[in-house]
Amino acid sequence: MKGKIGLEEHFAIPETLGDSERYFPKDVWPRFSAKILDMMNIRIEEMDQYGMDMMILSLNSPAVQAICDPARAVYVAKKANDAMAEAVAKNPRRFRGFAALPMQDVDEAIKELHRAVKELGCVGALVNGYSQIGDEDTYRYLDDPIYEPFWAEIEALGVPFYMHPRDAMPCNTHMVDGHPWLVGAAWTFGVETATHTLRLLCSGLFDRHPGLKYILGHLGETLPFCIWRTQSRIARERRGIPAKRPLYEYMAENFWFTTSGQFRTPALWNTIMEFSSSRVLFATDFPFEEVSDACLWFDGCAMGDRDKMLIGRQNSIDLFKLAGL
């Protein structure tokens, strides 16, 4: 399929590049680092080769969220957003961007969100899970009441929020002690991100802000598969949960799901069957995944032309109001 739009497509700046190094063997790193730093030729060549019209760019992980000093987190977020805006300005037909946000300081996060959307033209925000604040052992999830003004602001702006994975805190990964191969994208990313999302769902966030648009990658970080059971058990024993409605209903109304790093047709159909093809969007997870793997899988995926056009392109145009495409 030609004209695909991808929306989990990462870049790095020198200040955040090192965060990705641990995920790659030494011999692969030079090729990978050249790809993630590039916002021009390498990227566009791959997009052209595999039928991608546009990438919606976002910073690598954990980047800003792991910078304990709030002032430096603000500095790096702004620098990354400026670099991304420059790339978008050079190639507006090929790129848009998600803002990186310094969630360590709520007021600054709101200010940067505003600047990124109103001045830089960002089409949403992408945050890499919880943020570390002050020191490495102090961290805050986004259901903390301190973030209420942030959620109000992003709802008012009407732009989507993308919850992207990061590694869980070491104190939360005892279940994989002695199994380092399960750390990161192989397993713990998904557990961490699904759990963070459940915290938000259960907190009543979507009762207070019914207009929020919330995106999950990796076909929903297992939640489309699991949510029926989670809801079924909560309904039997509510234990004071603040959310007023069944969790599934918020997901149906407020959530979108991308194919990033999950190039598996039965998993795709599970997400479509739960939430419909109008809520699923194409993404690769560049350069952690190969554009060729994502595109060749999606192009050959057994589904009707209409669904393929929705997922590959039209849903993104509608969600991000991509005028002129």
User: Is 285 a known active-site residue?
Assistant: yes
Q: Which stretch binds Zn ion (CB under 5 A): 2-10, 96-104, 198-206, 243-251?
A: 2-10
Q: Which stretch binds Zn ion (CB under 5 A): 8-16, 44-52, 167-175, 291-299?
A: 8-16
Of 266, 255, 265, 274, the residue nearest 315 (C-alpha): 255
Beta strand 52-59 with 95-99 is parallel
> Taking CB under 5 A as the rule, which mask of x and - marks residues 283-312 in contact with Zn ion?
--x---------------------------
| E strand spans, the chain | 4-11, 52-59, 95-99, 124-127, 131-132, 139-140, 161-163, 214-216, 255-258, 280-281
Of 151, 87, 152, 150, the residue nearest 122 (C-alpha): 87
What is the Cα–Cα distance from 275 to 220, expressed in whole angstroms?
A: 11
Region 226-245 residues binding Zn ion, contact defined as CB under 5 A: none
CB 10 within 8 A of CB 60: yes
> Taking CB under 5 A as the rule, which mask of x and - marks residues 161-200 in contact with Zn ion?
----------------------------------------
Tell me how far, at minimum, the Cβ of 280 lies from Zn ion, in Å.
17
Residue 140: other Cβ atoms inside 10 A = 16
Instruction: Return all residues near 314 (Cβ < 8 A) that are at least 6 apart.
Output: none
Interface size with Zn ion, residues (CB under 5 A): 2
Tell me how far, at minimum, the Cβ of 250 lies from Zn ion, in Å.
23
Tell me how far, at minimum, the Cβ of 23 lies from Zn ion, in Å.
11
Instruction: Return all residues near 111 (Cβ < 8 A) that are at least 6 apart.
Output: none
Q: Which stretch binds Zn ion (CB under 5 A): 64-72, 129-137, 142-150, 281-289?
A: 281-289
Region 61-100 residues binding Zn ion, contact defined as CB under 5 A: none
Residue 8 or 46: the one with the smaller Cβ distance to Zn ion is: 8
Residue 167 or 285: the one with the smaller Cβ distance to Zn ion is: 285
What is the Cα–Cα distance from 27 to 145, expressed in whole angstroms?
A: 45
Q: Which stretch binds Zn ion (CB under 5 A): 5-13, 197-205, 248-256, 304-312?
A: 5-13
Backbone angles phi, psi at 252, to 5 degrees: -65, -35
What is the Cα–Cα distance from 91 to 129, expressed in whole angstroms?
A: 29
Residue 143 or 285: the one with the smaller Cβ distance to Zn ion is: 285
Tell me how far, at minimum, the Cβ of 221 lies from Zn ion, in Å.
11
DSSP code, position 296: H
Residue 8 or 274: the one with the smaller Cβ distance to Zn ion is: 8
Tell me how far, at minimum, the Cβ of 164 lies from Zn ion, in Å.
6
Tell me how far, at minimum, the Cβ of 158 lies from Zn ion, in Å.
24
19 sits near Zn ion (criterion: CB under 5 A): no
Query: Which residue's CB comes closest to Zn ion?
Result: 285
Residue 112 or 285: the one with the smaller Cβ distance to Zn ion is: 285
Tell me how far, at minimum, the Cβ of 60 lies from Zn ion, in Å.
8
Backbone angles phi, psi at 163, to 5 degrees: -90, 110
Catalytic residue among 135, 137, 285, 318: 285
- Give yes or no for a cis peptide into 287 (omega within 30° of 0): yes
| E strand spans, 85-158 | 95-99, 124-127, 131-132, 139-140
Residue 206 or 288: the one with the smaller Cβ distance to Zn ion is: 288
Of 115, 89, 91, the residue nearest 102 (C-alpha): 115
Q: Which residues are catalytic?
A: 285
Q: Which residues bind Zn ion (CB under 5 A)?
A: 8, 285
